[in-house]
Amino acid sequence: MAETGKHRDSFIRLFLRHFKTMALGTVAGLAAMAASVGLLALAGWFISAAAFAGLAVVNAHLFNFFYPAIGVRLFAIIRTVARYGERVFSHDATFRILESLRTWFYRNLEPLAPGRLMRYRSADLLNRIVADIEALDNLYLRVLSPSIIAALLSAGVLIFLWGFAPFIALTTFLALVVAGVVVPAFTAALGAAAGCRLARRNAQLRTEIVESLQGMAELLVFGAHGRRLDIIGRTQRSLIKDQQYMSHLRGASSALLTLVSGGAVLIVTYIGAGLVSRCALEGPDLALVALAVLASFEAVWALPGAYQYLGHTREAGRRLRQIVDAKPTVEFPAQSVVPPAQFDLCFDQVTFRYHRNVPPALAGVDFYVPPAGRVAVVGETGAGKTSLVNLLVRFWDPQQGRILMGGQDICRLSETDLRRRISVVSQQAHMFAASLRENLLLARPQATEDELVAALERVQLLDFVRNLPDGLDTWIGEFGQRLSAGQARRLAVARAVLHDAPIWVLDEPTEGLDRISAQQLMTALDELTAGRTLLLITHRMVGLERMDRIVLLEAGRIAGQGSHQELLKKNSRYAALQMSCRNI
C-alpha cells in the first residue's frame, strides 16, 4: 500500500511540476470565456440601445456610440488574444505533462525488466506507454481546466446579473449548476463502465494487430490468417459497440444542455420582460442579460463530453499504475558496499527457479572462474546455461546460494558498478532499427570515430562496413534484418569491445553460424578476451580446447568439471556431446 501511495503521489507531482503553465492556460481560457460573454452581451445591448435611441428622434443625438463601440472591439481583441494564449499554454502544458509521464513510466519500467515484464505482451506494453498515457491528456485539457473556468465564470455571471435582478441571477446560476454539474455527473456515471471497456478493448485490438503483423509469415504459411482476422474482427465489433454507446450518450448530453440553456434563456427573458413592463429594468438591459445568459453556457458545454470519458482516463491510469506499482524482481543498492578489486567469479551453491511450482533451472551449481581465467559452461538446450547469465547480470536473484565477484556478493554492488565490470554478448543481441554507428554507440556514447573503426576492425567487420554506401551511417533495418547472422553477431561483439569491461560473458556466440564461421569467430574472441575474465556459455563444442576449465551442466546440475582433455577421458557424457557435434 505504501508503494502504491508513493507512485500515486509521484503521479500527482508530475502534474504539479507544470503548475505555472497549467495556471496560465486556465487564466487565459477564463479571460477568453469572459470576453466572449462580454462581447455578446455588450453587442446585444448596443444594438438594442441604438434602436431605442432611434425611436426618440429628439434625443437620438445624445446617444453615445463611441464607448460601446470601443467596448465591443476591446472584448473582441481580448477574446482573440486570450484564446490564442489559452491554446498555446494549455497545449504546451499538456505535451509537457505527457512527456513527463512517459519519462516517469519508462524509468519505473526499467527496474522491472525482464523478470516482471515477462508477464506482459510487448504490444500491450507499447499500448500503455503510448495510448494509455495519451488518454491522460483528458484530465487537464478537457476536465480540470474547463471545470475551473466554468466554476469561476458561473460565479462571475452570478455577481454580474445580481446587479440587474437577483432572481435572474439565481435562476441562471441554478441552470449553470445543472448544466455544469448534474449533466456531467450523469454522463460520467453512465459512461464509466463503457469508458473502462474502451481502454481495455483499444489495447486488446492494438495488441492483436501488432502481433498479427509480427507473425504474418507464420499465419500465411499455416493458412491461419483467416482465423486471426476473425479474432480481430470480433474485438473491433465490440469496440465499435462501446463507441456507439458513448456517441449516443454524448448526443443525449448535448440535447440536455440545449434544453437547459434554452430553458434558462426563455425563463430569464420572461422574468426580464415582466421587469421591463414594471420599469424595473431597461429594455436594452434585457437584451444584455438574455445574451449574457446564453453566452455563459459556452463555459459548461464541453464538460459532459469530457466527464463521460473519465472512466476511460481512470482505466488508463490504473493500467499504468499496474505496471509501475509492481515490485521489481531485484533491487540494487544506491552504492556498492565495497567495489571489487579483482575480477574473478564464484558461483557458490546457486539454486534458482523461475516460478515456485516448476523444477529448478539451477540446483546447487558451484564453480569458480579465476581472474583472467577462461571457463566454458556447456550443455544441451534447457540445461540452465542462460540462467547463469541472467543471475550474473541480476535479472533475477538465486533463491539459494550466492554469486561473488572479487569476493563480494554481487547483490551488494550498485547497478552501475556491476554493469561497468561485465560485458555480455547475449544469445539474441538486439539490433535497433538505426544505423551501424548508433547501434555501436549504445556501448559507449562518447566513442570517437577512430574507436568505432578500431572495434569493427578487431571483430573483422571493417571491410564489410567500408564497402557499404553509407559506411557507419548505413541503416541496418528493424532487428538488424539487413545484416547476416554472422555480421549481427560480430556487431554485438564490437559493442563489447567498446564497453571494454574486465569480465566478458559470451552466451551462445556461435549460435546460427556454420562451422567455419563459428571457428573464425571463436578465434577472434580468443584474441579479444586475452587478459580478461571469460565465461563462455555454449552448447556447441567449438574452441573448447582453448578454455582453462569446462563445466558440464545437465538439467541445472553440474555433471562434470575439468579441462577439455580431462573430460574427454573421464566423462562419457561430455565425450558423447563432442562426438555428436563432430557428426553435425
- Count other C-beta atoms under 10 Å from residue 545's C-beta: 11
CATH number of 2-324: 1.20.1560.10
Burial (CB count <10 Å: 0-12, 13-18, 19+), residue 562: middle
The pTM assigned to this predicted structure is 0.75
* pLDDT score for 63: 61
What is the C-alpha separation between 443 and 42, in angstroms, rounded? 67
> Quick check: helix, strand or coil at residue 213?
helix
**Residue 63 region by backbone torsions, left for phi larger than 0, else alpha for psi between -120 and 50, else beta:** beta
Task: Report yes or no: 397 and 328 within 8 Å, Cβ to Cβ.
Answer: no
What is the C-alpha separation between 43 and 72, in angstroms, rounded? 6
Tens-level pLDDT at each residue, the chain (584 residues):
444 445 455 667 788 889 999 999 999 999 999 999 999 999 988 888 777 766 555 555 556 677 888 999 999 999 999 999 999 999 999 889 888 888 888 888 888 877 778 778 888 888 888 888 888 877 888 889 999 999 999 999 999 999 899 999 999 999 999 999 999 999 999 999 998 999 889 888 988 888 888 788 888 888 888 888 999 999 999 999 999 999 999 999 999 999 999 999 999 999 999 998 888 888 888 999 999 999 999 999 999 988 998 888 888 888 888 888 888 888 888 888 888 888 999 999 999 998 888 889 999 999 999 999 999 999 888 888 889 998 999 989 999 999 999 989 999 999 889 988 998 888 777 888 888 899 999 888 898 989 999 988 888 888 888 888 888 888 988 777 888 877 888 888 889 889 888 999 988 887 767 777 777 778 888 888 888 999 998 887 777 888 899 999 998 899 889 888 888 888 888 888 777 665 55
Q: How many helices (H) and strands (E) does the chain have?
A: 24, 10
Among 306, 320, 321, 312, smallest CA distance to 193 is for 312
* pLDDT score for 1: 43
201-204: long-range pairs with CB below 8 Å, 24+: 201/235, 201/238, 201/239, 201/242, 202/127, 202/131, 202/239, 203/124, 203/127, 203/128, 203/131, 203/132, 203/319, 204/235
* pLDDT score for 4: 45
SS3 for 506-524 is EECCCCCCCHHHHHHHHHH
User: To which residue does cell 473556468 refer?
Assistant: 149
* pLDDT score for 2: 46
* pLDDT score for 344: 92
- Count other C-beta atoms under 10 Å from residue 376's C-beta: 22
Task: Report yes or no: 455 and 498 within 8 Å, Cβ to Cβ.
Answer: yes
Domain boundary assignment for the chain: 2-324, 345-583
> Do 2-324 and 345-583 share a fold?
no
* pLDDT score for 12: 73
Q: Tell me the CATH class for 345-583.
A: alpha beta
* pLDDT score for 485: 79
Instruction: Write the CB contacts of 121 (distance below 8 Å, at least 6 apart in sequence).
Output: 207, 211
